Amino acid sequence: MTNSQFQMSAAEAEQPPVVTASGDIDLANVNEFSDVLNRAAADSDAITVDLSEVTYCDSAAVRALFAVAATTKLGLIVPATGTIITLLNISGLDRVATVVTRD
Amino acid sequence: MAPPHFQPHQHPQLMALLHRILERIQFDHLDAVGLAITVHDKRHDEVPSVLAAIGVGADVAEAQLAGIGGPVPDALAYQVPVLSPDLWTDDRWPELTLATMNDRAPQHESIWEQVHGAAAVPGVWADDATVVVCCTLSQPASAATVASLINYEQLVSAALITTAAENASAIADIITVLQSRGAIEQAKGALMGLVRCDAEHAWRMLRRASQEFNVKLRELAVALVEHISGAPAEQPDTGTPITPDKRTREAARLMWAALSEAPLPQ
């Protein structure tokens, strides 16, 4: 895994900044994930996080997403099936973020 | 690690501290009608129990743990923070309703009518012991509620860890637990990916394997992560890294081989 695992694209026109993650998000790299989320949220009152290429994420990622959703309007793009959407449902993160599913 | 049969409620100073933490949370969340700290010590096959509570916190948590379901048992089982903007109407726990609570604890009827949101945040304070801090609000709960509880969960876990250690090795024990947290999370994640199960199931597999092979759970977790990745497991820079012995590494290899349906690579 390299730094390119978490990419940020700046806000444009009406669209908020987008953080695109890939691979596994766990305790090993969650700080890096949080940093990118915070940077994206710093200049914007809304961000979108694209998790559709994420292969695994656990409690650490859920905590990071709750933390950023506490101060920012959060949009999530996730695979339509699999563990991530299940995790969002169990945690209730899907009740406070706008979730878009992608096949 | 904790001596056998460490019972948090037998430590008055710990109980006083936990109560002060709950009061502090109450101060931060003036709309909280109930707060509770629930512990689940799996080492002695104990069922989850409410350790400390204020307001209607104990009633809410105990109802959820009695089979009705809710944020507290889900946070314990899945080890993720759980948020409910509106508890009585949440479709995840159809049995947890205003009517249920009025039946169980009619003396709090006026409070049950006020309840809206709830949040529960889990943590680990020993190899096989977990805790959940939960709050029930008269307002809808939000991501900010969870973010705040995450900070308090760390305080609660730290209080439990230090009291469980009860001696000069407290700091070493804290570091060990923090190291286990990382390795165990990683190992659980690998098992969840391999057998497509939830965190609770992965946890049980790890525990069962550590008992069957008679090796320490945290060392098995490190060995498993290192076996799968072929690289050292992530561990904090502080403290002595967990280095599994040969027997533990062999147990990890056997466990992984037994669970992998396909032949092992290499």
Both B160 and B235 in a single domain?
A: no
Q: What is the pLDDT of residues B208-260, one digit of tens each?
A: 888 778 888 888 888 887 887 777 776 666 566 778 888 888 888 887 777 76
In a domain, B106, yes or no: yes
In this prediction, residue B133 has a pLDDT band, given cuts at 50, 70 and 90, of very high
Is B79's Cβ below 8 Å from some Cβ in A? yes
Neighbours of A72 (CB within 10 A): 21
pLDDT at B149: 94
| End position of a domain, from candidates B102, B133, B165 | B165
Chain A 21-80, residues with CB within 8 Å of chain B CB atoms: 24, 26-28, 55-56, 58-60, 62-63, 66-67, 69-71, 74
In a domain, B266, yes or no: no
* Closest alpha carbon within chain B to A86: B198
* CATH number for the domain harbouring residue B42: 3.30.450.40
Both B246 and B185 in a single domain?
A: yes
| Interchain proximity B186–A59, CB inside 8 Å | no
What 3-state class would DSSP assign to B246? helix
In a domain, B264, yes or no: no
pLDDT at B191: 77
| Interchain proximity B185–A58, CB inside 8 Å | yes
Helices A59-69 and A30-42: angle between axes, nearest 10 degrees: 20
pLDDT at B204: 79
Q: Distance between CA atoms of B107 and B65, rounded to whole angstroms?
A: 20
pLDDT at A37: 95
According to the per-residue pLDDT averaged within each range, which of A73-82, B43-52, B185-194 is highest? A73-82
In a domain, B63, yes or no: yes
| Interchain proximity A96–B84, CB inside 8 Å | no
Query: Which is higher by pLDDT, B13 or B182?
Result: B13
| Interchain proximity B146–A87, CB inside 8 Å | no
Name A46's bridge partners.
Answer: A73
Is B200's Cβ below 8 Å from some Cβ in A? no
pLDDT of A26 over the 70 cut? yes
pLDDT of B263 over the 50 cut? no
Q: What is the pLDDT of residues B28-54, one digit of tens each?
A: 899 999 999 999 988 777 899 999 999
| End position of a domain, from candidates B165, B190, B221 | B165
* Domains in chain A: boundaries: 17-102
Is B82's Cβ below 8 Å from some Cβ in A? yes
Name B54's bridge partners.
Answer: B35
Q: How large is the ipTM?
A: 0.91
The answer to whether the beta carbons of residues B95 and B44 sit under 8 Å apart is no
Rg of chain A (C-alpha set): 12
In a domain, B186, yes or no: yes
Strand A6-9: give its sheet, edge to edge: A6-9, A18-25, A46-57, A73-79, A98-102
Domain total of chain B: 2
Both B45 and B132 in a single domain?
A: yes
Residue for token pair 């973010």: B147
pLDDT at B266: 39
* Closest alpha carbon within chain A to B193: A56
pLDDT at B34: 97
Per-residue HEC secondary structure of chain A comes to CCHHHEEEECCECCECCEEEEEEEECCCCHHHHHHHHHHHHHCCCEEEEEEEEEEEECHHHHHHHHHHHCCCEEEEEEECCCHHHHHHHHHCHHHHCEEEEEC
What 3-state class would DSSP assign to A47? strand
In a domain, B158, yes or no: yes
pLDDT of A27 over the 60 cut? yes
- What percentage of chain B has pLDDT greater than the value 70? 85
Please give the CATH number for the structural domain made up of A17-102.
Answer: 3.30.750.24
**Amino acid identity at A74:** L
Query: Which is higher by pLDDT, A81 or A68?
Result: A68
**Amino acid identity at B152:** Y
pLDDT at B264: 39
Q: Measured between alpha carbons, how far is residue B24 from residues B58, B100, B106, B151, B153 in Å?
A: 17, 29, 28, 12, 12
Q: What is the pLDDT of residues A78-98, one digit of tens each?
A: 998 888 998 999 999 999 999
Q: Give residue B187's domain range.
A: 170-259
Which region among A44-58, B5-19, B228-242 has the lowest average model confidence (pLDDT)?
B228-242
Is B132's Cβ below 8 Å from some Cβ in A? no
pLDDT at B57: 96
